Chains A and B, each alone.
Chain A
Amino acid sequence: MAESPVLILLGRELRSAVRERSIVVNSILIPVFLYPLLLWGLFTALTVVDGLAERARSRVAVHGVPEAHQELLDSLRALPAIELVESTTVEDAERQLRAGELDLVADLEAAGASSPGLAENFRVRLLYDRALERSRRARARAAGVIERYRERWLSRRVEELAIPRAEVVGFRIDPHSVSTGRQLGTLVLSEVLPLFIVVMVALGCFIPAIDTTAGERERSTWETTLILAASRRDVVVAKYLYVTALGFVAGALNVIAMFVTMAPVVAPIVAQTGEDFAFSLPVLAFPVMVLGTFVLALFFAAAMMILAAFARTFKEGQGMVTPVFWLALVPLLFGQGSESTLTPATAAIPVANVAMMLRDAVRGVYQWPLIAETLAVTLGIVVLCLLVARTMLRFEDFLIGAYDGSFWRFLRERTFGRGAASRRRVGRALT
């Protein structure tokens, strides 16, 4: 049985691809190592910054401390992270705070008539600059000390007055989240996963789409391909499958790498924050993710190849395809960070619809009619791109690389330019 020309051509493309460093880096290494390195780097940086900030002492000025509460000053002095600074008046201290010479001003005031039962009760006004991290940190430190002191003093007083503790405390806010660690993990995954899949699939298609079109022209192998005993259609199909395959591989590797990474790398780091995360996905999410990654790869491969095919050099190709990459990411902003799910309207927005479908799947939401709409819309655009590509292939001057690598010049000259009619008549390409 005769070998399929598409398979022979595809095999050649793939073999060449795995020997090209930029393709291996973009389509395989980045998707595999991005999560561990990015997350490790991010958390390490945060820890370092946090550690440096923790070492800095907070400059605090305290005013109006009642005689009965001098112990509060001792408590503040006892904390090494706080440095008590003298200032003459509250106004003067506030001026120093605004000038950045102080981090916090604690202004104490007797409660007086508002607290008739507790004669020595007091109120504290904390002045700080919320625009400054060190001032916010000083507020947190001082508030903690003052709160603990107030609790101790209150306990002593209610004991002296023989009042039940519960009556003094009144009501307190006791927040309790009903979500489990698994649900928190799902929330994180649903925000991160679709975004990374879209970016990785686009990145996975980016270099191969340029390499197999503009790159071939630059290396003078485009004409070599045109003289092969394969139809133009077979050549284009093989190239398209090749770009799609690498885009899909990039997306799939990324998902696998994320799961491999989440448990050993991210979970322990997140655990340090006191949150309890568990990362898992509903079983049905996997086929939906595979489907989503595949249609994204089909979409990006088609869109990027159409533009890159006009370029004469790799650099021109990058210039033409880069806007597609960023434009494709814009719809992703829809619904990001919100509770929204796919709707008939959002399912019609390319790229965003697949991202939302993936997010729903991670959350265990499967709206099959809308998933069908999403796939239909994306595949519809892919078919449209392929029809455009087929039309372009009929133009000989496109095939031989005219138009100075410009898509717009192609449109202009083909539609309105001098000789456009003649071009259309005689410029048809052989198949």
Chain B
Amino acid sequence: MITVQVEGLAKTFFDEARGAIHAVDGVSFECRAGTIFGLLGANGAGKTTTLRMLATILRPTAGRARVMGHDVVAEPEVVRRSLGFYSASTALYPRLTARETLEFFARVNRYPRERVGARVDELVERFGIDRFESVRVEKLSSGMKQKVSIARTVVHDPPVLVFDEPTVGLDVINALEMQDVIRALRAEGKTIIFSTHVMSEAEKLCDTIVIIHGGRLLASGSLEEHRRATGKHYLEDIFVQYVREGG
């Protein structure tokens, strides 16, 4: 089942000094339920801008995107309800406790009111938050915050989950835990859109890898398909070849 459709998506910013900046330039792709879709690119390639358009934080300059059949421009609220968005720029509210945070995100994202308590209990147990559920977020360690952040991303049970560079700043143990969580969510049938510039992560996790550079999509396919197309084995080499050809 196709859950996310992106067609010719573009985003142009204007800067007084530099003029028009084409951050994303006609990107198209599709994502399916129960798969991990990886956006692989260097810093400034346009990954985050693409994901922010999907999350309705930014409005596309051109093209269109649909999440669960809902247009990001025409129905931004419905899109946001169908989406869980995790990134370094979406911090937790520091003065709420872990439990209050989950309850808030469930309620405001329209999770059925009568089931909010049970859903929060389930996630508190699943992510091991019970030890600190009554502690304010500002007093939690980075590892604890990471758990609460993942829980708040999935608390309203959205079919599509966006993880924008989720392992940046995490130590090895926490990064591996994050990867396990993402795999588990895929197993539940969620569509995962995952951006990274770490090749090994993309290799291990993604069912489909899209290589994006300079705002343009250079290639799309599974790791095996990329290997066949380029004749290279390691993703790092595959990536460099696409960038050289595309640049």
Where the two chains meet, the residues of A that have a C-beta atom closer than 8 Å to any C-beta of B are 2-3, 5, 8-9, 12, 15-16, 19-20, 219-221, 223-224, 226-231, 396-397, 400, 413, 417-419, 422-423, 426-431
Contacts and interface: CB of A to CB of B under 8 A. Distances in A.
A229 B91 contact: no
Contacts of B104: 8, 12
Nearest to B162: A227
Q: Which 4 pairs of residues, A with B, have the shortest CB-CB distance?
A: A220-B91, A419-B14, A229-B81, A16-B95
A223 B89 contact: yes
A221 B59 CA distance: 20
Question: Dominant SS at the A interface?
Answer: loop
B73 A427 contact: no
A225 to B, nearest CB: 9
B178 interface: no
A429 B59 contact: yes
Q: Indicate the member of A20, A221, A428 with the most B CB atoms within 10 Å.
A: A221
A418 B18 CA distance: 10
Contact of B90 (A19, A227, A419): A227
Contact of A419 (B16, B76, B77): B16
A397 B52 CA distance: 13
B96 A15 contact: yes
B1 interface: no
B8 to A, nearest CB: 15
A428 B12 CA distance: 12
Contact of B59 (A3, A12, A396, A413): A396
Interface string B46-83: 00000000011111010000000000110011101101
B93 A224 contact: yes
B227 interface: no
Nearest to B12: A426
B240 interface: no
Interface stretch (B30-38, B105-113, B197-205): B105-113
A8 B76 contact: no
Nearest to B94: A219
B161 to A, nearest CB: 12
Given A2-B110, A223-B89, A20 B95 contact: yes
B92 interface: yes
B100 interface: yes
Nearest to B106: A8
B76 A422 contact: no
A23 to B, nearest CB: 10
B56 A430 contact: yes
A231 B16 CA distance: 30
B14 A15 contact: no
B173 interface: no
A413 B13 CA distance: 13
A422 B93 contact: no
B85 interface: yes
Given A8-B104, A419-B14, A422-B20, A224 B90 contact: yes
Given A418-B16, A430-B76, A228 B108 contact: yes
Contacts of A397: 13
A66 B20 CA distance: 99
A3 B110 CA distance: 8
Nearest to B61: A426
Interface in B189-234: none
A217 to B, nearest CB: 10
A12 B20 contact: no
B58 A400 contact: yes
B91 A396 contact: no
Contacts of A16: 93-96
A223 B61 contact: no
A428 B60 CA distance: 9
Nearest to B11: A426
A230 B19 contact: no
